Amino acid sequence: MKLLQVLNGEPVWPPPVWLMRQAGRYLPEYRATRAQAGDFISLCLNPSLAAEVTLQPIRKFGFDAAILFSDILILPMALGQDLRFTEGEGPRLPPLQHIQQLNLAKAPGIYAPVLQTVANLRASLPPQTALIGFAGSPATVSCYMLDGEGGGGFPRTRQLAYEQPGFMDNVIELLAEATITYLQGQLDAGADCLMLFESWAGIFPPAQFRKYVIAPTRRITTALRAKNPGVKIIGFPRLAGLMLGEYAREAGVDAIGLDTVTGLAEAKAACPPNTIFQGNLDPLLLKLGGKAMDEEVQSLLSSLKTRPHIFNLGHGITPDVPEQNVARLMELIRGA
């Protein structure tokens, strides 16, 4: 598997490629399957349909990796927090008030269908295609749990981190423990490697970044490696800025996902030598296509030839991306 070769530090050319949200609304077959499921959460918890939408972009574009189709908020739902997705509004949860509202023991029974999806995928994927399991990192998941919705800078989460650090600490600690169990379940079910999405790393100032982003991530990676010594883990500390290097040194991940605003040269300067990167084409260019996309893809590729790298976006595919632009992207990478 090319992806695992790169995560082991081997240069591979052309680089392996997969795209965040590669299974999604830009594909008509995804939209049809989601309609069949009835709603987004039902799709995530239907092993047959969730496996199907995971496989759709693999069949169509031949990506080097499939990433489990699910959502980072399935875990808080499994812990006992109500979750709903409203079209055009995103996720909604009742803001968490007490740690006692969460039940660690019941969670595996609720997310069991997700693990079955992983098993179904491992049985269905081509042998050369890596299967990526994933979870949200505790800091990012806590943002949704404490504020109850995405966007807006998560003011309640930030306030609690200052005014009620004990409560915040308890939430992060419980999430770290739950995430270890959840990701171990994905590995046991057949995932080849893992990814931790820290989508809101950028809202935390340095001291809180160390406490709520780096420390729990290190706890998760350490615990998983204790049971799975060779497991490879990609971290995606979106908008980490000047904290990127410290995250790379201290979080215990094997590769760093780069967001759109982080240049490869700047990331190389900030992180330890031989850090493996994933990324980071601007998703807007994938929407626009044409000369602008071609030139940026060629520029990225020309800067990667001497190092292990996983080609990806700096954030997820948007629903308005034309399929032919994804096909063109794959043509450019495969022909490099």
DSSP-derived pairing of the beta strands 90-92 and 84-86: antiparallel
Q: What is the length of the chain? A: 336
Record the pTM: 0.96
Inform me whether the pLDDT recorded for 152 exceeds 90: no
Of 71, 92, 122, 294, catalytic: 71
| Residue range 274-306, pLDDT digits in tens | 999 999 999 999 999 999 999 999 999 999 888
Kindly report the backbone phi and psi dihedral angles of residue 183, in degrees, each rounded to the nearest multiple of 5, phi listed first.
Answer: -70, -35
Reply yes or no on whether 219 is catalytic: no
Reply yes or no on whether 210 is catalytic: no
DSSP designation for 105: T
pLDDT at residue number 176: 98
The band of 323, judged by pLDDT with boundaries at 50, 70 and 90, is very high
| Residue range 19-48, pLDDT digits in tens | 999 999 999 999 999 999 999 999 999 999
The band of 88, judged by pLDDT with boundaries at 50, 70 and 90, is confident
Of 21, 158, 219, 238, catalytic: 21
Of 34, 158, 219, 238, catalytic: 34
The band of 87, judged by pLDDT with boundaries at 50, 70 and 90, is confident
| Residue range 185-231, pLDDT digits in tens | 999 999 999 999 999 999 999 999 999 999 999 999 999 999 999 99
CA neighbours closer than 13 Å in the CB half-sphere of residue 174:
23
Reply yes or no on whether 25 is catalytic: yes
Reply yes or no on whether 249 is catalytic: no
Inform me whether the pLDDT recorded for 170 exceeds 90: yes
Q: Give the mean pLDDT of the chain.
A: 96
pLDDT at residue number 241: 95
Distance, in Å, from the CA atom of 218 to the CA atom of 246, rounded to the nearest integer, reads 12
Of 26, 30, 111, 144, catalytic: 144
Please, are residues 171 and 97 in contact by the beta-carbon 8 Å criterion?
Answer: no
Task: Return the structure tokens found at 194.
Answer: 């893992």
pLDDT at residue number 89: 75
Please report the domains of the chain, with CATH numbers, ordered by start residue: 2-334 (3.20.20.210)
Reply yes or no on whether 71 is catalytic: yes
